[in-house]
Chain A
Amino acid sequence: MFRSNPTRQDVMAESSNTPNPGSFDVGRLLEQARTFLAFGEEMRQCSEHLQENAQGSADWSSALRQHFEQFRTAVAATAGDPEVNPELARLWTLILDTWQRTAESMESASIAPPANWSSAAWQAYQQTQNQYLRLLQRTASEALDLMEQRLSESAASGRNIDSLRELYNLWVDCNEESYGRMLRNAEYSELSGRLLNALLRCYAPGETPS
């Protein structure tokens, strides 16, 4: 009945544990460290702007609004060309970067890249990816609105934010909240499914190694 019913434990291969899952990717950490530094620089400029332009609380709110408007504009600029400011772009394209890395690793691990990069399927994939990027940009902009609102609320209630890390954590919370709303709606479900399907259509079934 059994394929094997060993009596000697030492003949039992531990083959199921042998593939190396890979050591820690320091690159991932460095990338996020650079992103944190970019965020810090943005916030340093914001703080400078507030110091220079805000004397009373009304000034402060208006100066905050002005700076966040600039922040949103800078983020929008990176949507057109992430290379303009890659670190700032990474602040909001994290999931797209992760997706692209996943797609690349799948190519190298399992399937050959498409033979024709100008094919209709590849163009369709690029178009879908651009739609995905636009959705992420909208979410990033909503996250900045939320952060501006939270900062104003905390200033109004006399609650101080004393460290850059605290600000960063607030930024993460706002992005998670805004991203989470997007994730749960039907548009995201449809678009993320379409993104994967479009990538898969770039590869002819049956041409992958068996």
Chain B
Amino acid sequence: MKVKVVVTLKNGVLDPQGKAIQQTLNGMSFSDVKEVRQGKYFDIEVNIEDEKKAKAEVEEMCKKLLANLVIEDYKIL
């Protein structure tokens, strides 16, 4: 099955790319954009059919590689 993961920066952690995107959007007259935080999205196909087991395995991957828990949070969708 496929498991989807989103990794985002924790609140309060500086995100220069997000800031640049926000300023660009404002410059393009999307003046309502208050803040942009950029993250990462992963589509992971595993050879496990049991959803619970697959998600538990992906959670380990998040902790060990996909996210750096010093600055990032992960969410398994």
The reply to whether chain A is a binding partner of chain B is no
Contacts from A to B (Cβ < 8 Å): none
